[in-house]
Amino acid sequence: ANVASTPQFYSMALPLVKEGFADSPSSRDGVSRLLELRMRSHGADLLLRATILLKLPQLTGASAAAILHRFYYRRSLLEFDVRIVAPAALLLACKLQETHRSLRDVAIVFARLRLRTLLGGNSASAAGPSSDDVAQLKQDIMSVERHILRELGFVAGTLLQHPHKYVLQFVKSFKQSIDWMLTELAQTAWNYLNDSLRAPLICEFQPHEIASAGIYLAAKKLDFPLPRDPPWCTIFDTSMDVIRRIATSMATVAAAPPLKDDEVTAIMSSQSGRRTLLRRRSTGNFSPFPETPLPLPSPQSDEAADDSLLPSPLPQPLPPRTAATTTAATAPGGARSRSRSRSGSGSPASKRQRRLCPSSENLLKLGLDPARVAELVE
């Protein structure tokens, strides 16, 4: 096989993690490298199985695996349960790849996967998850999704460059080979790339380097002759040292025994005391799944919204009594009010009499005798 005379393949460089597991948050919390790799592999396996059940494209599952691995380079496995981060990463990947699935569907699929695992793979006897379990899982997924967006800087879409899209380009460059051999080579390399999603290779190497390693492993398995003049790895903008390192990591992931759900539960429960201590030491009473506050009621108009943001006015004190107010009280109306204040004192009978007897001037105007009216009232 000969490589077509095409220019070298270049891709957009992604930010990489140079330290790997040596300086990950989980390793700083005391998690061994093998255990971290197995827990990451368990979470990636869950979301890849859910991708098939939800009938999502394979690139959506690859995006979710990349989000999961990058998130655990920011936060520890002891803080966030991998069984909650996996559905949150898949839900976020569905939004980024525009292959939308509802939160309810994602929660039900992951709840069924966990229930099927607990029952030993016997799906016939599974009655389905309860509504309370699904509701709780939905709340946890929404909480973790906010943490993922915050830790990735709300630019998760710019980090989704996958090695899968390079495989077909690289395989098509072997134009002198037989078509069915190229098809089998591409399919085998694609399978290796799917297995590589269980390891955080996308965080440590560039996508085109991982694609080259997948082609290298596929060629070794199929005894496919790779060109040496010019070297095929040079055309693909990589080196054999990097390809061998990636191939070794893929073999390590394939050889690592998978975790079961009860093993993950035992690990998380055994580390619960240490996890609580770490949270209190770092951020006080921090919880990885905070409750979502209720939204404020929407105002009726913009003016109401502006008024609702203003503080309530303080009660104003009464103005002091001055000489001007005293003078106003002695005006014609003031004399009347002063007579009322004097009439306020006295017996109830006298008050009733004053209330029933009109003034003498008014009686005279009506042609009545004031003395006679007084006698009748008494």
pLDDT of residue 373: 66
Section 21-29 average pLDDT: 81
Q: Tell me the range of 146-160, 203-217, 292-306, 322-336 where mean pLDDT is highest.
A: 203-217
pLDDT at 308: 45
Report percent pLDDT > 70 for the chain.
63
Reported as half-sphere exposure (CB side, CA atoms, 13 A), residue 30 has a value of: 8
> From CA 97, how far away is CA 160, in angstroms rounded?
10
Q: Is the pLDDT of residue 21 over 50?
A: yes
Confidence of residue 69 (pLDDT cuts 50, 70, 90): very high
Q: 55-76 burial, b for 16+ CB within 10 Å, e for fewer?
A: ebebbbbbbbbbbbbbbbbebb
324, burial (CB in 10 Å: exposed 0-12, middle 13-18, buried 19+): exposed
Which position has the higher pLDDT, 361 or 253?
A: 253
Residue 355 has pLDDT above 90, yes or no: no
Digit-coded pLDDT (tens) for 222-248: 998 888 878 888 888 889 999 999 998
Q: Is the pLDDT of residue 201 over 50?
A: yes
- Other CB atoms within 10 Å distance of the CB of residue 160: 20
Closest CA to 69 of 97, 45, 101, 98: 45
Identify the band that residue 255 occupies on the pLDDT scale cut at 50, 70 and 90.
confident
What's the confidence (pLDDT) of residue 87?
Answer: 96
DSSP for 341-364, written as a single string: HHHTSS-HHHHHHHHHS--HHHHH
| Residue 83 CA to its chain's centroid (Å) | 15
pLDDT for 274-287, tens place per residue?
554 444 444 444 34
Counting runs of H as helices and runs of E as strands, what totals does the chain give? 19, 0
Question: pLDDT by residue (tens digit) across 86-144?
Answer: 999 999 999 999 999 999 999 999 999 988 877 765 554 556 788 888 999 999 999 99
pLDDT mean across residues, the chain: 75
pLDDT computed for residue 33 by the predictor: 87
Contact between residue 79 and residue 275 where contact means Cβ atoms under 8 Å apart: yes
Asked if pLDDT for residue 7 goes beyond 50, the answer is no
Query: How much is the average pLDDT of 169-185?
Result: 80
Mean pLDDT of 42-57: 94
Cross-strand partners of 228: 231
Q: State the pTM of this model.
A: 0.67
Confidence bin at 181 (pLDDT 50/70/90): confident
20 pLDDT band, cuts 50/70/90, is: low
The terminus-to-terminus CA distance of the chain in angstroms comes to 134
